[in-house]
Amino acid sequence: MYVRKRLLFIPSLSLVWNYSIHNRLYRKYLCGSLKVTKQSACFVSWKAISTLPPPKTWNERYQWIWKKDENRKRKEYQRYCSQWSWPIVKAILGKCILSAVMSIILVICIFRCPHSSMTNNSSSPYPRVVLPTTYFSTPLFKVSLIPGRSLATWTMGILGFLFLSLFMIQDYLIYKPSKEWRGFPEDFGLSFYDNVSLKTKDGLTIHGWFIKQHDDYQNAPTMIYFHGADKNHSFRLIKAFGYYVTMRCNILLMSYRGFGPNEGQPTEAGLCLDAEAMMEYLIQNRKDLRRSFILYGESLGGAVAIYLAEKFQNYLDCLIVENTFTSLTDMMEGLHLIMAPLKWFSQNKWPSLQRIRNIRIPILFLSGLRDGFVPPRMMKTLYDEAKATNLKKFVSFVHGTHNRTWIMEGYYEAWKAFLDEVFSSTHV
């Protein structure tokens, strides 16, 4: 059979494609992307060969990737926080305006009521009734005769506005979904898949793909892929492709509510319901699969995976987390000081440190030591506190960043070594 090899250079990544299709080679570049008409005749090997900036001779179509992901003048968390789309910005502005209106009304009600209206009528034994119109009977900016009252008014108004604004937009600061679409599985050589639509317990519908191994998928292990807090599941196809080829596993890849084509607004409670729907789909609806499930989560997805592992660990073989945090309140306190006062009122806590202490299944921790968003020490803390498990491993990558640990040398080898140990007779 005729076989050809072509080396495709992508920033910090080299893909060696080896495939033949009836003596004809079908290819498209990764950015555009790659298309193989018959998946059964395709096999791929990956290797990270360099972390240096690309040479000037590279094709112009690749330069935007490097400039976006490898700009040394911007820290990683700054690149992450800049990924706000215009609909999210409009929603944040709307929340801030609503907070300002509420703060003004609160200040008027507390400080701008005329002093005489708050006193009792000396001829009446009952307190005087204050009508709603009384609150607005004096101009808003009229200086009060009580010393320091104007200063207290403005101070309370500003503090109230800041608190209400941060409280109302906290979900938008954490979750950054996008409706932009990167492609479909067949664009990345994953042509053997099922479209999946699941109904959650609160009535929302989430969409994704169940990517199956092209040969004997019934006996292959199945991985549930929980992505991070930005974009949607279509942006993870190239990464899922690596797991598909190297681990020889099926992959359930879906977006959370509010991400991609899904309806709703992402919250901690909502994402937990989405994760439960995915797990129940595999347990109840996929009777054709081998009962071997792997949970994998990156960044925020690691917190989702830890939640699901604690609840469904009797159905799972192992848990793999990459560059995730101990809790979202720890992130607020350590990195986002402006949100530190809100940690006690936050609707999104994600207490992974508490939950991981109860997990008994094997756990693999993958940490990029150059992570500029989640401190690597949090991954180490999670590893130290996972004392209930019978098998745990911690693998660090010196040059791994928050979003680019997966292309480091030895990454897939760490996966394979861990899964081989999990599926061996000792840990089955």
Residue 302 token pair:
């690691």
Q: Provide the 3-class DSSP secondary structure of residue 1.
A: coil
| Number of compact structural domains in the chain | 3
Q: What dihedral do alpha carbons 42, 48, 53, 54 form, nearest 10°?
A: -30
pLDDT at 341 over 50: yes
Both tokens of 311, joined, read 């609840």
Q: Are residues 167 and 192 in the same domain?
A: no
Residues 236 and 91 in one domain: no
pLDDT at residue 176 is higher than 70? yes
CA count, 13 A, side-chain hemisphere, 265: 12
Q: Which domain holds residue 130?
A: 86-174
Q: Residue 428: inside a domain, yes or no?
A: no
Question: DSSP characters for 77-129?
Answer: HHHHHT---HHHHHHHHHHHHHHHHHHHHHHHHHH-S-GGGGSPPTT-SSPPP
Cβ contacts of 410-416, under 8 Å, gap ≥ 24: 411/48, 411/366, 412/46, 412/242, 412/246, 412/247, 414/364, 414/366, 415/243, 415/246, 415/247, 415/320, 415/364, 416/246, 416/247
Residue 45, pLDDT above cutoff 60: no
Clarify whether residues 50 and 113 are in a common domain. no
pLDDT tens string 53-98: 444 443 343 333 333 444 444 454 444 444 555 566 666 677 677 6
Flag whether 80 is in a domain. no
Residue that terminates a domain, selected from 174, 206, 231: 174
Rounded to an integer, what distance in angstroms lies between the CA atom of residue 184 and that of residue 35?
Answer: 10
Domain boundary among 157, 174, 191: 174
Asked if the structure places residue 78 within a domain, the reply is no
Rounded Cα distance between 45 and 416, Å, is: 14
How far are the Cα atoms of 7, 30, 220, 276, 346 from residue 171, in angstroms, in the given order?
42, 33, 37, 21, 9
Q: pLDDT tens digit string along 248-281? A: 999 999 999 999 999 999 999 999 999 999 999 9
Q: Does residue 79 form part of some domain?
A: no
Is residue 265 domain-shared with residue 391, that is, in the same domain?
yes
What average pLDDT score do residues 280-305 get? 95
Same domain, 260 and 373: yes
What are φ and ψ of residue 397, in 5° steps?
-125, 120
Residue 283 DSSP symbol: I
Segment 216-239 shows an average pLDDT of: 95
50-64, 87-101, 343-357, 410-424, range with the lowest pLDDT: 50-64
Higher pLDDT among residues 123 and 352, named by residue: 352
Which pair of tokens denotes residue 211?
A: 């990517």
Give yes or no for residue 390 having a pLDDT over 60: yes
Q: Kindly tell me the burial class for residue 216, based on how many C-beta atoms sit within 10 Å of its own C-beta (0-12, 13-18, 19 or more).
A: exposed
**Confidence category of residue 159, pLDDT binned at 50, 70, 90:** confident
Given this model, what pLDDT does residue 365 score? Answer: 98
Q: Which of the listed residues 73, 97, 122 is the one where a domain comes to its end?
A: 73
Averaged pLDDT, 25-30: 31
Catalytic residue positions, numbered? 299, 371, 402
Whole-number average pLDDT of the chain: 75
Tallying the residues shown for the chain, one arrives at 428
21 pLDDT tier (thresholds 50, 70, 90): very low
Q: Please compute the mean of the pLDDT values over residues 307-319 and round it to a whole number.
A: 96
Bridge partner residues of 24 (DSSP): 21
Considering the domain architecture, whether residues 266 and 385 belong to the same structural domain is answered as: yes
What pLDDT does 254 receive? 97
Q: Does the residue 384 lie in any domain?
A: yes
Distance separating alpha carbons of residues 11 and 16, to the nearest angstrom: 14
Structural domain includes residue 240:
yes
Q: Where are the beta strands (DSSP E) in 246-380?
A: 250-254, 293-298, 318-322, 363-368
- 63 and 136 share one domain: no
Check whether residue 19 and residue 167 sit in a common domain. no
| Rounded average pLDDT over 278-302 | 95
pTM to 2 decimal places: 0.71
